[in-house]
A = this chain, B = another copy of it.
Amino acid sequence: MKYMDEFRDPATAKKLVEEIKRLAPIARGQRDMPLQIMEFCGGHTHTLFKYGIESMLPADIEMVHGPGCPVCVLPMARVDDCVVIAEQPGVIFTTFGDAMRVPGTCKSLLQAKADGCDVRMVYSPMDALAIARKNPDRDVVFFALGFETTMPSTALTLLQAHREGLKNFSLFCNHITTPATMRAILTDPDLRLDGFLAPGHVSMVIGAHPYDFVTRDYRKPLVITGFEPLDILQALWMLVKQFAEGRCEVENQYARIVPEAGNVEGLKAIAEVYETREHSEFRGLGNIGDAGIQIRETYAAYDAERKFKLQAAASTHDPEHLKCADVLRGVMKPWECPAFAKTCNPQNPLGALMVSPEGSCAAYYAYGKLAKRKENT
């Protein structure tokens, strides 16, 4: 497949890895620990594991898996809210497949569905809108979830519903913004990070400039990166080069997709429909000012939170023994969580990080088997 297979070429990968290996010691310099590079985005984590990239990297580089997975940072209370909405008579609750398995305090959406709620998976918010058109006597709610990549699609869908005057469609808005989340990570006193791979698809919407504060205020180099394995290797190479050459810049590895200024129409739609929340609690990130997103008053009629009069989600903390928050912030490795691979496993996930294929716990769970096998053989 064009524009995918070319970026999965093993020969080129080999060369890139050689280059990284050559530059990494120079880049690392006098640090006593390896260079800590955070791939912010769960999509990158997925690529790392899917292609076994970490095993190719020199010991001078250590990848830190970031919180860029919208279901991973979703507090349990939000899943509970979804279930509450889905349980209303007449509601069709629509969602991306990702959110179906995420555990709430007592059940996931998948379980709510098994218990009789009409929960439907869709590929696009527009498909949820089509369901609303086809079921005028039902209340169709779409679980709007995701970083800036997804925000234009939900905003445009809401605007379309508004144009058509649909009264039975609303969004349960749980979007979250990337730069604010990054800032929260950077201000965390526990964290030690040397640089970032920035999410390519968020960036195609917001452009490159929103990351300027990372290099300017926190002196961490950052490369906007695509999702094919060569994209990641090239971005890592660009990053080690920055270290080696003493630069600290926002660079764009993913220029074929990410325009400097982002996407004008997408940003317009976001600005029209959404505004930041004053308080918003995310798992592992606590209350991040400016990161949470809500629907503007103008479009209150399409806001499931208002329509179903949800209580402002009480700040529910995870039980003490579940360390999802620490893993998300990158201050703990999955296997350091006492639940890891014991009470928490992919068949029976206690935290979202064990659910999603992008969740680091799920990834390490599978990876751990491989590592163990390698030890044995």
Q: Which residues of B contact A90 (CB under 8 A)?
A: 137
- Is A89 in contact with chain B by the CB < 8 A criterion? yes
CB distance from A134 to the nearest CB of B (A): 13
Nearest residue (CB) in B for A89 is B137
Bound complex: CA of A89 vs CA of B136, how far in Å? Answer: 12
Q: In the complex, A90→B89 CA distance in Å?
A: 14
Whole-angstrom distance from the CB of A87 to the nearest CB of chain B?
15
What residues of chain B lie closer than 8 Å to A89, measured between beta carbons?
137
Q: Mark A338-365, 1 if CB is under 8 A from B, else 0.
A: 0000000000000000000000000000
Is the interface on chain A under 10, 10 to 19, 20 to 34, or 35 or more residues? under 10
A117-153 interface code vs B (CB 8 A; 1 in, 0 out):
0000000000000000000010000000000000000
Nearest CB in chain B: distance from A89 CB, A:
7
Within 8 A of B (CB), among A55-107: 89-90
Distance (Å) between the CB of A351 and the closest chain B CB?
38
| Nearest CB in chain B to that of A90: its residue | B137
> A110 CB to closest chain B CB, in angstroms?
26
CA distance A153 to B155 in the complex (A): 57
Residues of B within 8 A of A137 (CB): 89-90
In the assembly, what is the distance between CA of A256 and CA of B137, in Å?
54
Question: How near does chain B come to A140, taking the closest CB pair, in angstroms?
Answer: 17
Within the complex, the shortest CB–CB distance from A168 to chain B, in Å, comes to: 15
Separation of A137 and B137 alpha carbons in the complex (Å):
12
Q: How far is the CB of A118 from chain B (nearest CB, A)?
A: 15
Expressed in whole angstroms, the Cα–Cα distance for A89 and B90 within the complex equals 14
How far is it, in angstroms, between the C-alpha of A173 and the C-alpha of B328 when the chains are bound?
67
**Shortest Cβ gap from A194 to chain B (Å):** 60
Quote the shortest CB–CB distance from A4 to chain B (angstroms): 45
Closest B residue to A137 by beta carbon equals B89
**How far is the CB of A116 from the nearest CB of chain B, in Å?**
15
Minimum Cβ distance to chain B for residue A88 (Å): 12
Question: In the docked arrangement, what's the CA distance between A137 and B89, Å?
Answer: 10
- In the assembled complex, how far is the CB of residue A303 from the closest CB belonging to chain B, in whole angstroms? 24
Question: Nearest Cβ distance between residue A215 and chain B, in whole angstroms?
Answer: 58
Q: CA separation between A161 and B316, bound complex, in Å?
A: 47
Complex Cα distance, B289 from A41, in Å, reads: 82
A41 to B323, CA, bound (A): 79
Convert A229-249 into 0s and 1s, putting 1 for each residue whose CB lies closer than 8 angstroms to a CB of B: 000000000000000000000
Minimum C-beta distance from A257 to chain B (A): 47
Query: Taking the nearest CB of chain B, how far is it from the CB of A222, in angstroms?
Result: 55
Q: What is the minimal beta-carbon distance from A125 to any residue of chain B, in angstroms?
A: 27
Provide the bound-state CA to CA distance between A6 and B89, in Å: 55
Chosen A-B contacts, 2 in total, with CB atoms closer than 8 Å, are A89-B137, A90-B137
Instruction: Please list the 2 inter-chain residue pairs (A to B) with the smallest Cβ-Cβ separation, ordered nearest first.
Output: A89-B137, A90-B137
